[in-house]
Structure 1
Amino acid sequence: MTARRLGFLVLGVTIFWTAAYVVVYLVRWEWQRALMSGVLLLIALVVGIAAAGARRLARIERRLAELREPPPVPRGRYATSREEEPPRFRWLEGDSYRVFIPVLLGAGIVVSGLAALVERVAGAFGRDAGPPAALAPPAGGVLAGAPEPDGRDGRARAIALGLAGALFAGVAVYQLAELTQDRPDDPVAAPASTLVIEADTRGDTGAAHVDPLVQRLWEYCRGSTRPYVEGGGAVPLGERRYAIVVRPALGEHALKRMLGCLQDGLIDRARFRVVSVQPG
């Protein structure tokens, strides 16, 4: 495998996985990660288009260079300079072959006369006989019984493939819209929802404890639901675990938005993971 093919293979794998993660993060309501994957997908597509364009331009330049090159000079027995061209018919230069042309022309005239005589004799004896039965064409013609060419099969196949592609694209867009649309939830038969998260830091965050980071995350994510969360807060449970109590209880769509916001973790140098949800 050449380096060019390997590069295109890596680029194709990158485009496929970045597009897949864009869809996954959109379904999970993790908007920051979806944006990051979308930017990587856009970069990979631009690189792919640029590589394909550069390859096509190189092919065109190579073709133009081949057209500009002069024809190769023949080498061998009859190779000469441009000023002195070799004779095309060497046998015409000698005196011994000058009689060849009149003899050839005379022989042609004699053969043509004999052929005309044979044609007249054959026409006189076989005028009413007609061609033999074995050589007679079939009643319906040479192509009798052959299926007539019909171009409708190719058009029907193209139409079927186009309809199948449009149907697949429509179903994919509909399913993605169903998973990401913001819709009101029915009332939940619970006073509150409790989400247990696990918090961790990466490097120096400027905070002595994880408590202020969790509080910042809660203040940010409480506005991710519709309607906004009115009551609740973060309660430390020990061992870097916190219980986020949400009042009123979250429905199906509001819970997806809250989980996506918590998993996204927009707090700098902090990482959060949802452990459990009640009621879930």
Structure 2
Amino acid sequence: MRKIAFVFGSLAAVGAGSYLVVYLYRWQWQRALLCGVLLVVVEVLLLGLVLVGRLARIEERVRDSDRRQRELAARQEDVLARLRGEPELSGGGRFRWLEDPAERTYVFVPVLMVTGVLLSGLAWLVQRIASATGRPAERRLAGRLAILAAPDPAAHDDLDDLPPPGAGASRGRIAGVTAVGVLGAALVGALVVGLADLTQTRDEDANDSAATSVVVQVDMRGTDMTAGRRSLAAQQVWERCRDSTAVPLSHAALGDLGDGLYAGVVRPALTDHDRLRLRGCLEDATLERAHLTVVGIGDADKDDD
């Protein structure tokens, strides 16, 4: 369950980060702030999932360690109890014949001595036969094991110049980590520089057209939304976006075209960057139950009526 939550959280973080970049490019600050807050929340959630997983593994290890300690203590107590307990003798003594009266005569000791002598002689004979027949086998075994012997230091004086075991692997790992770090830093730097270039307010070449016309569509949610409320919402958004461009829209009026369409004429004409900023401001409206969509934006030549 935790893995599924981590996967969905990662996808949500990727989506929030992508839309954050898109809304920053479109100059839609309210939506960018919402995506940024969502991205922070998802990152905190992912961090919490990672910490919970780590804590669960630590708790499981501590529980296993306690269980092993309890089992070891129980075995130690069992062995200690057995060592401290009295020995149990079953059936009397081991050598009851020693407790019998001395008047009785036994043949156990002479038989034991004769048997020992015979066994010693038999062992000596087996040892002689084994030493006579085992030398060729030992030589063959030594020949097989010669490949595993260490090389002669006198014949290999350059062994000291060889790198220690694992040195090549460690260098390769360090090189891989360094390459990944450099690539990641380059990508992050390129993303930051690209966003800074896209969202920078800069002086652009003036537009030779006479004016710029903007047509917006106002959509309202609710059953009591009349034409007057729609017109008021359009005017409020238009007034709020007057200073969103490099040149303030001081002489720009918004006219009603009917059916929720409104047109505004901006003089002097807007540059491409100012168009992007004005579109982003209009479509990023924060009015309750109102949404503006830029239907069209274009330049009007001096010869046009």
Interval containing the TM-score (normalised by the shorter chain) = 0.7 to 0.9
Q: Mind listing any 5+ residue stretches in structure 2 that lack a counterpart?
A: 86-92, 96-111, 132-146, 301-305
Structure 2 counterpart of 1:197, one-letter code = V
TM-score (norm 2): 0.67
Shift of 1:140: 2.4
Task: Please give the root-mean-square deviation of Cα atoms over the aligned residues, in Å.
Answer: 3.7
Structure 1 counterpart of 2:71, one-letter code = P
Shift of 1:145: 11
> What's the counterpart of residue 234 of structure 2?
214
Q: How does 1:1-280 map to 2 (within 5 A)?
A: 3-69=1-67, 70-71=70-71, 83-84=81-82, 137=152, 139-140=155-156, 149-150=167-168, 151-203=170-222, 208-209=227-228, 210-279=230-299
Q: Return the alpha-carbon distance in structure 2 between the equivalents of residues 197 and 94 of structure 1.
A: 112
Please tell me whether Structure 1 or Structure 2 has the larger radius of gyration of its CA atoms: 2
Q: Return the alpha-carbon distance in structure 2 between the equivalents of residues 261 and 23 of structure 1.
A: 16
Q: Return the alpha-carbon distance in structure 2 between the equivalents of residues 26 and 248 of structure 1.
A: 26
Shift of 1:233: 1.3
CA 46–94 in structure 1, closer or farther in 2 if over 3 Å, else same:
farther
The count of aligned residue pairs is 238
Structure 2 counterpart of 1:160, one-letter code = A
Shift of 1:147: 7.8
Q: Return the alpha-carbon distance in structure 2 between the equivalents of residues 46 and 137 of structure 1.
A: 61
Please list the CA deviations of residues 48-100 of structure 1 after superposition, one character each: whole Å capped at 9, or x if unmatched. Answer: 111211221122122222222311767xxxxx67622599xxxxx977xxx9x
Structure 1 counterpart of 2:182, one-letter code = L
CA 200–267 in structure 1, closer or farther in 2 if over 3 Å, else same:
same
CA 62–84 in structure 1, closer or farther in 2 if over 3 Å, else same:
same
Q: Return the alpha-carbon distance in structure 2 between the equivalents of residues 245 and 56 of structure 1.
A: 61
Instruction: Name the one with the larger helix percent.
Output: 2
Structure 2 counterpart of 1:263, one-letter code = E
- Does the 8 A contact of 2:210 with 2:299 survive in 1? no
Structure 2 counterpart of 1:9, one-letter code = V
Please list the CA deviations of residues 221-252 of structure 1 after superposition, one character each: whole Å capped at 9, or x if unmatched. Answer: 11111231121111122221111211221112
- Does the 8 A contact of 2:237 with 2:285 survive in 1? yes
Q: Return the alpha-carbon distance in structure 2 between the equivalents of residues 84 and 153 of structure 1.
A: 57
Q: How much identity, in percent, do the aligned residues show?
A: 33
- Does the 8 A contact of 2:2 with 2:49 survive in 1? no
What secondary structure does 1:57 align onto? helix
Q: Return the alpha-carbon distance in structure 1 between the equivalents of residues 162 and 82 of structure 2.
A: 60
TM-score (norm 1): 0.73
Structure 2 counterpart of 1:230, one-letter code = S
